Amino acid sequence: MYEIFYSYKQELIYSLVVLILLILIQYILRKSAHRVGKRSEINLTRTRLMLKYINILVILIAIFLMAIAWGMELTQLALIFSSVFAVIGVALFAIWSILSNITSGIIMFFSFPYKIGDTIKIHDKDLPIEAVIEDIKAFHLHLRTKEGELITYPNNLLLQKAVSLKEHHGYSDEGKDAL
């Protein structure tokens, strides 16, 4: 046991100092977040979320410093961190896009004022669209222009743009899936 301690003495002392400093920094950051939350009358849930972010930050710093203490080179750490963050970034971007369209589809299900068969105009300065709603799906709408062109329009963009009703046809889509 003493041989292990003696051979890794410097790394163990460095690790202990880093852990003590990070615990102190975490304590200070948590106290500061609580103080700011109380002073600004921020919702307790948002303050707790900030505390989770502080914990994650401190853990990432601890992993980085411990890896250096135990002999990992900076080039190896840079390769690992860049690879992990690239994968996380791509995954979060893909998930964000999918989730935003699904969430918009759910919102449109409960509170979308337009129905299948209505003619709407999407007020977009780059590409204004006037078309008939053919179908409302979970991710997008199928819109048919006067020229017969089928446009697939993402739900999340539809909720971000101004939309006006041009003509109400009042078609019923009851029994559509009964076939």
- Which tens digits make up the pLDDT trace of 30-59? 898 888 878 877 667 767 878 888 898 899
Task: Give the separation between CA 77 and CA 84, rounded to whole angstroms.
Answer: 11
Q: What are the start-end ranges of the E strands in the chain?
A: 119-123, 129-136, 140-145, 150-154, 162-167
Name beta bridge partners: 153.
141
Low-confidence stretches of the chain (pLDDT < 50) are: 172-179
Mean per-residue pLDDT of the chain: 83
Q: What is the model's pLDDT at position 96?
A: 81
Query: What class, spelled out in words, does domain 75-170 have in CATH?
Result: mainly beta
Number of residues that this document lists for the chain = 179
CB 121 within 8 A of CB 163: yes
Q: What is the model's pLDDT at position 137?
A: 80
CB 154 within 8 A of CB 101: yes
Spatial CA neighbour of 18 closest among 61, 73, 81, 74: 61
Q: What is the model's pLDDT at position 153?
A: 92
Three-state SS at 134: strand
Q: What is the model's pLDDT at position 43?
A: 67
